[in-house]
Structure 1
Amino acid sequence: MSIQALRERRNGMAIEARKLLDDTKDKAWSTENQTQYDSLTGQINDLDARVDREQKLIDLAAEERHQNRDPVGGKRQTEDLLADIGIFDTWMRRGDRGFNAEQAQKFHNTMSTTTGAEGGFSVPAEVSSRLIASLKAFGGMRAVAELLTTANGVALSFPSSDGTTEVGEILAENAQATGSDPTFGTVGLNVFKYSSKIITVPIELLQDSTIDIEAFVRARIIERIGRITNQHFTTGTGSGQPFGIVTRSAAGKVGTTGQTTSVIFDDLVDLLESVDDAYQAGNCRFMFPQSVRKVMRKLKDTAGRPIWTPGYEAGITAGAPDLLLGKSVVINNDMPAPAANAKSIVYGDLSKYIIRDAMAVNLMRFDDSVYASKGQVGFLAFMRSGGNLVDTAAVKHYQHSAT
């Protein structure tokens, strides 16, 4: 069965499950309803896993078929871009010794000023933007946070203000208005230097012109930097690393005694209602790891009805996401797993977390004797990034009970 057929079958079951919930909204939730719902959601889970496996195979095949870009013969408006990529490809394969005079000049104009002696290279904007965009696939934080790009990495303080307690007044005729200045604060939004660690590539791959070296190295950079930054944007301590959204979020609900690894319906409602209604009209959503999703899919309200509504796709861009208590869900496996005192769920306007990327991505190439003796070339990427929750009233967390 094709991946498209699998997706269509999965969507049909998700729509059927949602219709079942809608059609029984004013009726008692029966055993037959539950059996049908469990069967549908179980098949949806199986199809999700099959689709993921098929998509990985398609992605791998696409990478293998992708040929190196040729900087010659492109349309005039793309010639500069293609030339940049061509220089980048040449540098990755042969180092700066492979340049002609014009390429060498352009290379040194874009070379990192801080790592020139070691052969640092500022990654072309086209490659850098695709690299950063691809980081959204890791963990979930970049998919929901507000992204901010700055031209330098100097310390930055972001203004913050919580106006949820501020109210106006009624004035008598000719009466003096009361002063009520809003309280402003600042939140640090500094960047930290992230490294991909050294990526070793066999010389044979560099010599094979059919291999897209840029894509090969970029995939490794994305995996390594994507994982470490998402961890820090989620649970970072703020000491030598960014503050994570879990760390900075306010307490919304502590689980009822006995809920060390589980969640009850009433506690989940309390978490949702702990966020001020001023934020609820915005883009509030839940975030938790896959281990919590398993719990949520089995959770029922006081009438015995499931509170998890499977999502489905409709066309290329439209569709309905998975819903929990009517709110969309983001899966982030860097969130703490359910355990005593663990903060495994956050809820609120997650866009109040701001991720800051500074300057360009820099890449270094190593072909000295340490690598040459093994028939390898080393690549090392640096990226400056940071993040912080600028409005702690906008996001609340659920904490499991201690016992």
Structure 2
Amino acid sequence: MTDINKTIEDLGRSFEEFKSTHTQELNALKAGNSTADFQAKQDKINADIDRLQQEVEDAHTKIAAAQMGAGGGSGPKDKEYSDAFSAHMKKGDVQAALNKGADAEGGYLTPTEWDRTITDKLVLVSPMRQICGVQTTSKNAYTKLFNMGGTASGWVGETAARPETATGTLQPMTITTGEIYANPAATQQILDDAEINLEAWLAGEVQTEFAKQEGLAFLSGDGVNKPKGLLTYVTGGTNATAHPFGAIAQVNSGAAAAITTDGIVDIVYSLPSAFTGNARFIMNRKTQGLVRKLKDGQGNYIWQPSYVAGQPATLAGFAVTEVPDMPDVAANANAVMFGDFKQGYLIVDRIGVRVLRDPYTKKPYVLFYTTKRVGGAVVNPECMRSLKIAASA
């Protein structure tokens, strides 16, 4: 905690220096003087802010891990199966305990605690899993019903007739799961000789690959054997008509190829107040570097670094989450999104991770073909907005 507090203090000082240098650059620009020196200094400070902000965000992740109890010391709930699974990973032994995890294709369900470890790590690594809703299911798909309205009513007198009124309608939407896989390898000698925690090693390999693939799919996936990405539901996107409630509305940034303060204010106030309580911005780090320079009408910077351990940086008073796969700022790009993503986007996890031990395909390596089924879709487009880089209409 002492280290994170010092990092936050350093971040605050760097941001103050950034603001001072930015002001000097603007003054030199107005006076018609060269701004090259100020830009170089500002770029250096900006890089320092990025580094310090990343350290703060890493600390937030560790705090979240502690709150989740990730890596807790409690023993396995299915020790017999865990031991049998470990023996199978090392030597290929097939014991009776593994039978409860066998499927028709010869794969094995991983132990409960191993599966939970993978899930916990994905939550910590993937920003989308941190901010969106997550639902587990034992089926291949998850269906949700939406009330399309239509219920009618009327005023009547004390003794007047009360004829039947119209009834509201429901419309279903099904989120199917796609299969994501990783195929890490280890030599048989390492498995025979090394005193390593195989489950931890394999979990790390799987987590890295799954997080990379999931992060991209949750944003831009086309829905073919993968989730339907959040950005595909924005007006004009491939899934803009897929949801019963319509598309995610767009707000223009206020400039053809840039973000403006007015654009940020517009997107905040375009969101219904019912959804602002848990609303946040998502954007990539490069975009954060641009919004960091924006000021309000009183000359105050609308981006503020984190000043409290466990709290993110803010923009216009709302939390900012860095999502690396968000588009860069460019003409007509949806570079920023704002809203309550917990209500807006649902990730569906098919319970169970499967591992197939393959010692034959790539000798002398043993491959661990690992699969997990996951889906995702927008469940409420009304609680999110997209900032399109375009001049105001």
Same fold (TM over 0.5): yes
**TM-score, scaled relative to structure 1:** 0.75
**Pairwise CA RMSD of aligned residues?**
3.6
Where does residue 207 of structure 2 map in the other structure? 222
Where does residue 91 of structure 1 map in the other structure? 88
Q: Show the 5 A alignment for 1:84-233.
A: 84-96=81-93, 104-111=95-102, 113-116=103-106, 120-153=107-140, 155-161=141-147, 174=158, 182=168, 184-196=170-182, 198-233=183-218
**Higher mean C-alpha deviation, range 234-243 or range 127-136:** 234-243
Partner amino acid, structure 2, of 1:377? V
Deviation at 1:9, TM superposition (A): 1.0
Q: Show the 5 A alignment for 1:348-363.
A: 348-352=339-343, 353-363=345-355
Report whether the alignment pairs 1:371 with 2:378. Answer: no
The 3-state SS of whatever aligns with 1:159 is strand
Give the Cα–Cα distance (whole angstroms) in 1 for the partners of residues 97 and 284 of structure 2: 46
Residues 303 and 381 (structure 1 numbering): CA distance in 2 closer, same or farther, change over 3 Å?
same
Residues 188 and 350 (structure 1 numbering): CA distance in 2 closer, same or farther, change over 3 Å?
same
* Deviations 1:246-291, CA, capped at 9 Å, x for gaps: 2224123123343x2x2000011111112112212x3111111111
Where does residue 26 of structure 1 map in the other structure? none
Give the Cα–Cα distance (whole angstroms) in 2 for the partners of residues 106 and 181 of structure 1: 54
**Contact in 1 for aligned 2:86/2:198 (Cα 8 Å):** yes
Deviation at 1:190, TM superposition (A): 0.9
Report whether the alignment pairs 1:323 with 2:314. Answer: yes
Where does residue 254 of structure 2 map in the other structure? 256
Where does residue 237 of structure 2 map in the other structure? none
Report whether the alignment pairs 1:47 with 2:52. Answer: yes
The 3-state SS of whatever aligns with 2:328 is coil
Report whether the alignment pairs 1:274 with 2:270. Answer: yes
Report whether the alignment pairs 1:304 with 2:299. Answer: yes
Give the Cα–Cα distance (whole angstroms) in 1 for the partners of residues 164 and 45 of structure 2: 59
The 3-state SS of whatever aligns with 2:118 is helix
Deviation at 1:90, TM superposition (A): 1.0
Unaligned runs of 5+ in 2: 25-41, 62-70, 235-247
Partner amino acid, structure 2, of 1:7? I
Give the Cα–Cα distance (whole angstroms) in 2 for the partners of residues 156 and 328 of structure 1: 30
* 1:234 aligned residue (209, 219, 224): 219
Give the Cα–Cα distance (whole angstroms) in 2 for the partners of residues 79 and 345 of structure 1: 42
Q: Show the 5 A alignment for 1:374-393.
A: 375-393=364-382
Give the Cα–Cα distance (whole angstroms) in 2 for the partners of residues 337 and 178 of structure 1: 55
**TM-score, scaled relative to structure 2:** 0.77
Where does residue 243 of structure 2 map in the other structure? none
Unaligned runs of 5+ in 1: 21-29, 57-65, 67-73
Give the Cα–Cα distance (whole angstroms) in 1 for the partners of residues 317 and 56 of structure 2: 25
Where does residue 69 of structure 1 map in the other structure? none
Where does residue 342 of structure 1 map in the other structure? 333
Partner amino acid, structure 2, of 1:305? N
Aligned length in residues? 346
Give the Cα–Cα distance (whole angstroms) in 2 for the partners of residues 180 and 16 of structure 1: 63
The 3-state SS of whatever aligns with 1:156 is strand
Q: Percent identical across equivalent pairs?
A: 23
Give the Cα–Cα distance (whole angstroms) in 1 for the partners of residues 78 and 223 of structure 2: 38
Where does residue 27 of structure 1 map in the other structure? none
Give the Cα–Cα distance (whole angstroms) in 2 for the partners of residues 227 and 149 of structure 1: 20
* Deviations 1:164-186, CA, capped at 9 Å, x for gaps: xx999995864879957555432
Deviation at 1:161, TM superposition (A): 4.1
Give the Cα–Cα distance (whole angstroms) in 1 for the partners of residues 337 and 291 of structure 2: 14
**Contact in 1 for aligned 2:252/2:391 (Cα 8 Å):** no
Partner amino acid, structure 2, of 1:107? L
**Contact in 1 for aligned 2:7/2:55 (Cα 8 Å):** no
**Contact in 2 for aligned 1:252/1:398 (Cα 8 Å):** yes
